[in-house]
A and B are shown apart, each in its own frame.
Chain A
Amino acid sequence: MTIETQADVTGETVPVVVPRTRRPGWRGLLRSGKLRAGLGIVLFFALAGLIGPLFVHDPERVSDDQLFGPSAAHLLGTTNTGQDVFKLLVVSSRGSLTVGLVTGVLATLISIVIGVVGAYVGNRWDEGLSLFSNVFLVLPGLPLVILVTDYLGSRGAAMIAVIIALTSWAGPARVLRAQTMSVRGRDYVDAARVSGEPAWRIIGFEVLPNLLPIIAAQFIFAVLGGILTEAALAFLGLGGSGSWGTMLYFAQNAQALSLGAWWWFVPPGLCIAVLGAGLALINFSLDELINPRLRVPRDKANRPATAGTP
């Protein structure tokens, strides 16, 4: 065992006890059950969203089969307008996932630009960008999204995703800024700077690789946030992009709960919950990589006696 110093997410440098033999790299990470379960769930939904809609013919087709329970003809029953819930569920998964993915990518990109660049360049740039993200941080997210979506005329999945991304990048940007501050003072970064490397190269090749686990975790978190926010918006009737939230909205409006039509609102709710759990599992295992103190030892004999006590 050795004692190392490691920056936690707040940017403080803290000594950590790390058992050298069990330091997991990316490869070690894949052996984690949490990660494998999480990846499995996410992969399942990704495939469902990607390929599923190709096999579903005319999901919005109405029929006179109002509010039928699950049967062979309708795997998950029908809605009050006789639409097939299973078909809707498959098609809606694409809507939810698209919003999540676009939100994740955009929010992560913005937070990298604002957080990392600001912290690396420093001085006035840092102060300005940091102020900017602080302002966005205190804006109440959901009410703002509701106002903006209401203001914009038409809204597809992409538009919703952009709006959610624009209101959710500030938190990650702050975390990345703190971490960048810690990384930029390290010797190898100084060395690169002294040897005359351009700033973009230092950020891209020296700083960012060190932030990768954090960025990955933030990305997963942003995807999850995007899916949940979109579901909330759609549930309030502000989505209109054909997602699980939209299904819940229609179920709520048709009073599916009091009519006992559980097959209408349980499946989309469950999908959101399970996919959320999958993404959270991935996030937990990434967190463990970033901060070894969170790692739970496999058995008691292996537990480092002084772990977590600085």
Chain B
Amino acid sequence: MANFPGVTVMGGRVSRRLLALGAAGILLGSTVACGGGKSSTAAADRILNVFSGANTGFVANFNPFSQNSLVGTDSMLYEALMYFNGGKADDVQPQLATAYTFGDSGKSLTFTLRDGVKWSDGQPFSAQDVAFTFNLLKDNTKTNLQGLPVTGATATDQTHVTVTFSQPVYTRLMLIAGRTWIVPEHIWSKVTDASAYTNDKPVGTGPFVVKSVSPQSYLYARNPHYWDAGKPKIAGIRFHQYNGNDSAIAALAAGQLDWTGLFIADIDKQYVAKDSKDNKYLNESQLYVTNLIPNLAKAPFNDPAVRKAVSLAIDRDQLIKLAFSGYGKPASPVELPRPLYDDYIKPEYQNLTLPYNQQQAEQTLQQAGYTKGADGFYAKGGKRLSFTVKVVQGYSDYISALQIMTQELKSAGIELKTQQESFTAFSTDQQTGNFDVIITNLYADGPNPYSWYERAFAGWTTKPLGQEAGSNYGRFRDSTVDQALTAIQALPPDQKDAIKAQLFKAEDVIVAQQPYIPIQQSSALIEYRTNNFTNFPTEQNHYALATPFNGPDIGIVAKNLEPVG
């Protein structure tokens, strides 16, 4: 989805929401200079205004182990040991840790920690805090959101900590070092249930501290104890709530927001043209790949010829232009986002594209034993080549895309039907394999494509039809791919060439078999205004993902922004 899913206004609550919005408007009016002009506040005291998609009122929750915590808790208040840049492969930066070494063939990790770090209450940060955090994951499994196989953690001295695991964790370094938010022992050791704690007065090592929270907005201010000298340069950052995309777009156009990620149709006309000097945007197109995922465990999609024919019959340029507002990018048959993982794509597949050729589609079907019936559709053994694509209702860009594909496939003699389902029904069907085809995204993150491939194609992440699979919903199984992925699990992350060699083996299988039918690479529009603040990520300087939605990238961007003038 290019926009925030689920931003709808439910009946009945509208009037109250509108009231709240009115109040927020008044608040905004008093804190932000009107119009699109430069803020009159002195540069050093200027607050950055952000909308990260919140359409309901804010409730204070700054618990990094909770899935309901407010945006910014991860990486703006609490920090991880290292930063893995989501916008660039293999870009790993030290944060609380300055170095790491694997031991015991990947079953233990020793981190060297940064000196002179302080918690936001002034107490010194130490290796004890890190050990405490990892032991918390082990003792209270509800806090272990990533399911890390931690068996223990000990601080060997003030700046060294060793974490041990029940299995090699070479492929999980990012989750361990980059997604585990370190909390202070002197506070969290007194918390009885760390997963349910709302933590409304958070103490972290991050660049910001919480200043105030109201249902309409919350404010983070600069942390005076922050370890990275001279950062953050901005005085604070305020997160706003709007009841829908339209009101947020209006606020952006009125100069009340500095940074957001809104889907805007015809962005050049509706946004950039209104202030071409300062209204900038970035299309983050490496977050996911939209796919038709067929059910490979049953007919007709267990036949590779059918998958190839469908893929050949789809005009992706038209789809991107009409259904995805022209923002999407062509997807690679390797099923990896480009240019993010270009380094890991086999050279001969680098520029491979998915052709559109209806004639060839029909030939492929004929060779596979299909014959065209009087109704214009191909059939085999008396059974018409027809399938139903399930889609989450309200995902209007996917629904439009399916309308277009219905026609494209029809002219190639293939029948596509669409069934809209609620999100819950869709999730269940996708997990249990109750579908012919689903339209959904493949995504994952990591310094290399291992986790991406594991989620999508590893045999151990799927289940037989009827049982709930965690990912790999298409039920893809291939021994070569499994062997290659298993081999990577035993390779330390710095052995890049060996990892590449294994990934290339898996890519050969994916390109040859084409298990899924890629449609497009994601488009996520990120808007930022440069009249008050600069140094947002750009395509040339992609020091972090520009998405203002979640950690760790949001914290990295926030601490690197600079006020103008």
Given that A66-B322, A81-B322, A259-B265 are known contacts, is A249 also in contact with B404, CB under 8 Å in the complex?
no
Is A292 an interface residue when CB atoms closer than 8 A count as contact?
A: no
Is A254 an interface residue when CB atoms closer than 8 A count as contact?
A: yes
Is B67 an interface residue when CB atoms closer than 8 A count as contact?
A: no
Is B176 an interface residue when CB atoms closer than 8 A count as contact?
A: no
In-complex Cβ contact of A153 among B249, B323, B425 (8 A): B425
Report the stretch among B372-380, B415-423, B492-500 that lies at the interface: B415-423
Contact A259 B266 (CB under 8 A): yes
Contact A258 B249 (CB under 8 A): yes
Given that A62-B407, A153-B425, A237-B394 are known contacts, is A259 also in contact with B270, CB under 8 Å in the complex?
yes
Q: List 16 A-B contacts (CB under 8 A).
A: A62-B322, A64-B318, A80-B322, A80-B325, A81-B322, A142-B11, A142-B12, A153-B421, A154-B421, A237-B393, A250-B400, A254-B396, A255-B249, A255-B264, A257-B246, A259-B266
Query: Interface readout for A245-286 with B: 1 if CB under 8 Å, 0 if not?
Result: 000011001110111000000000000000000000000000
A88 CB to closest chain B CB, in angstroms?
A: 11
User: Taking CB as reference atom, which chain B residue is nearest A240?
Assistant: B420
Hey, which chain A residues are within 8 Å of B400, CB to CB?
62, 80-81, 250
The docked-state distance in angstroms from the alpha carbon of A83 to that of B155 is: 65
Chain A interface (Cβ < 8 Å from any Cβ of B): 60-62, 64, 66, 80-83, 140, 142-143, 146, 150-151, 153-155, 232, 236-238, 240, 249-250, 253-255, 257-259
In-complex Cβ contact of B10 among A154, A236, A249, A254 (8 A): A236
Contact B419 A62 (CB under 8 A): no
Contact A150 B322 (CB under 8 A): no
The docked-state distance in angstroms from the alpha carbon of A89 to that of B424 is: 31
B522 CB to closest chain A CB, in angstroms?
A: 18
Is B451 an interface residue when CB atoms closer than 8 A count as contact?
A: no
A225 CB to closest chain B CB, in angstroms?
A: 14
Is B403 an interface residue when CB atoms closer than 8 A count as contact?
A: yes
Contact A60 B403 (CB under 8 A): yes
Contact A153 B422 (CB under 8 A): yes
Hey, which chain B residues are within 8 Å of A62, CB to CB?
318, 322, 400, 403-404, 407
B312 CB to closest chain A CB, in angstroms?
A: 19
User: Taking CB as reference atom, which chain B residue is nearest A140?
Assistant: B12
Is B321 an interface residue when CB atoms closer than 8 A count as contact?
A: yes
Hey, which chain B residues are within 8 Å of A236, CB to CB?
8-11, 394
The docked-state distance in angstroms from the alpha carbon of A236 to that of B8 is: 6
Hey, which chain A residues are within 8 Å of B266, CB to CB?
259
Given that A140-B12, A255-B265, A258-B270 are known contacts, is A64 also in contact with B321, CB under 8 Å in the complex?
yes
The docked-state distance in angstroms from the alpha carbon of A68 to that of B22 is: 35
Q: Top 3 A-B pairs ranked by shortest CB distance?
A: A237-B394, A253-B396, A142-B11
Contact A61 B249 (CB under 8 A): no
The docked-state distance in angstroms from the alpha carbon of A257 to that of B10 is: 20
Contact B422 A150 (CB under 8 A): yes
Given that A64-B322, A80-B322, A80-B325 are known contacts, is A237 also in contact with B8, CB under 8 Å in the complex?
yes
User: Taking CB as reference atom, which chain B residue is nearest A149?
Assistant: B422
Contact B246 A255 (CB under 8 A): yes
In-complex Cβ contact of B403 among A64, A81, A140, A254 (8 A): A81
The docked-state distance in angstroms from the alpha carbon of A61 to that of B269 is: 27
Contact B12 A143 (CB under 8 A): yes
In-complex Cβ contact of A146 among B10, B246, B249, B322 (8 A): B10
Contact A250 B396 (CB under 8 A): yes
User: Taking CB as reference atom, which chain A residue is nearest B406?
Assistant: A60
Query: Interface readout for B388-420 with A: 1 if CB under 8 Å, 0 if not?
Result: 000001101100100110110000000000011
Hey, which chain B residues are within 8 Å of A258, CB to CB?
246, 249, 265, 270
B280 CB to closest chain A CB, in angstroms?
A: 19
User: Taking CB as reference atom, which chain B residue is nearest A229?
Assistant: B11
Hey, which chain A residues are within 8 Å of B394, CB to CB?
236-238, 249
Hey, which chain B residues are within 8 Å of A155, CB to CB?
420
The docked-state distance in angstroms from the alpha carbon of A66 to that of B400 is: 13
